[in-house]
Amino acid sequence: MAAAAALARLEQKQSRAWGPTSQDTIRNQVRKELQAEATVSGSPEAPGTNVVSEPREEGSAHLAVPGVYFTCPLTGATLRKDQRDACIKEAILSHFSTDPVAASIMKIYTFNKDQDRVKLGVDTIAKYLDNIHLHPEEEKYRKIKLQNKVFQERINCLEGTHEFFEAIGFQKVLLPVQDQEDPEEFYVLSETTLAQPQSLERHKEQLLAAEPVRAKLDRQRRVFQPSPLASQFELPGDFFNLTAEEIKREQRLRSEAVERLSVLRTKAMREKEEQRGLRKYTYTLLRVRLPDGCLLQGTFYARERLGAVYGFVREALQSDWLPFELLASGGQKLSEDENLALNECGLVPSALLTFSWDMAVLEDIKAAGAEPDSILKPELLSAIEKLS
């Protein structure tokens, strides 16, 4: 619509000119391309097309999904996007009462956002513990000066490191320093811990192998009855990196630039812009149309690979051992073996896929006089919904 309006303005300007310009041919070509694109993607009735309305606020009627939700791996609680960090931090802090070593390690990796700095600090701590393990008789390795430059720059700056030292058996002690009047603070390993060197080695390996605690994307799996609305998606604002206001502003700016872009853009430039547009989506909502017409729906990260979708579908199948294929609009096969992200396949911010059994296997089953079991697991069919 914005492009058409811009072309109309071009025509008004042209009508004031004395005669046709050298850009008439280009303008006509642009009009043809716009009409062709409108025929393919602008009509809600076009077969195989996924119609995505502009983002709506949560609570609006007929949303395909209420929003994007996550699961806390520590508590199992379902969280909104804006609740993730606070809830995970709270869960980690509450874990100190049951397992202070594990809690302090989770705090180091999760509370500190600069993972390069975290790695440097963790490697330094591991070096301290290695020295104690390799030289158990050397007292100097059992003491760590807190005002030491390396300790201050690599360890003291990280949240959770002090809790870790104390959890594995170090104690803060004021000790005299040679040629210095005032004592300084040291971490000193307790005799009890020193008598159990295997525990230090175990804690070191636990520290090195850890990762940040991240909320897991909730697939919000749903099953729908066959519906002519399968390709229509009303998405909430959670599915877009930009807010609704930012999207409207960008549309306005683009419409003002159509006159220039419609003349200057080459096919390569349009493809580059399209790829840039795909990166605006963080999540995507996928529906898979099964042979019986039922729809399986789930939420994914836009950067997830095709294998994640195959795994999601396989988990819902009654006969999960049978090979199958997923097809995009127009019958394009999406191979499970291809290491492609969903946004690279154009499956954002939503898409309708088609499920198909592997024909060779299906023919073998039929030749044996058998038929595949019902497609979805009974517990999923018992919760089937009507798409509206």
Could you read off the pLDDT tens digit of each residue along the chain, which spans 388 residues?
Answer: 665 555 555 555 544 444 444 445 545 554 554 455 445 444 443 434 465 555 555 555 578 899 999 999 999 999 998 899 999 999 999 999 999 999 999 999 999 999 999 999 999 999 999 999 999 889 999 999 999 999 999 999 999 999 999 999 999 999 998 888 899 999 999 988 888 889 999 999 999 999 999 999 999 999 999 999 999 999 988 887 655 565 565 556 556 555 555 555 555 555 555 555 555 788 999 999 999 999 999 999 999 999 999 999 999 999 888 899 999 988 889 998 888 999 999 899 999 999 998 888 778 777 877 666 678 999 999 999 999 8
> What pLDDT score was predicted for residue 126?
97
- Residue written as tokens 């303008």? 27
For residues 177 and 164, what is the distance between their CA atoms, to the nearest angstrom?
A: 25
Predicted pLDDT of residue 195: 85
Tell me how far apart the alpha carbons of residues 29 and 233 are, in angstroms, rounded to a whole number: 32
Residue 60: the pLDDT is 56
User: Please, are residues 306 and 346 in contact by the beta-carbon 8 Å criterion?
Assistant: no
Residue 242 three-state SS: coil
CA distance 213 to 89: 9
Contact of 343 with 303, CB cutoff 8 Å: yes
Bridge-partner residues for 354, per DSSP?
Answer: 289, 327
Q: Which of 260, 264, 221 is nearest to 376 (CA)?
A: 221
* Residues linked to residue 174 through DSSP beta bridges, in sequence order: 185
Predicted local confidence at residue 46, as pLDDT: 40
DSSP state of 186: E
**SS3 category, 21:** coil
Distance CA 136, CA 197 (A): 8
* Residues 61, 264: Cα–Cα separation, whole Å: 41
Q: Which domains does the chain have, with CATH numbers?
A: 69-216 (1.20.58.2190), 279-386 (3.10.20.90)
Sign, CA dihedral 317-320-322-323, equals positive
Burial of 196 (0-12, 13-18, 19+ CB in 10 A): exposed
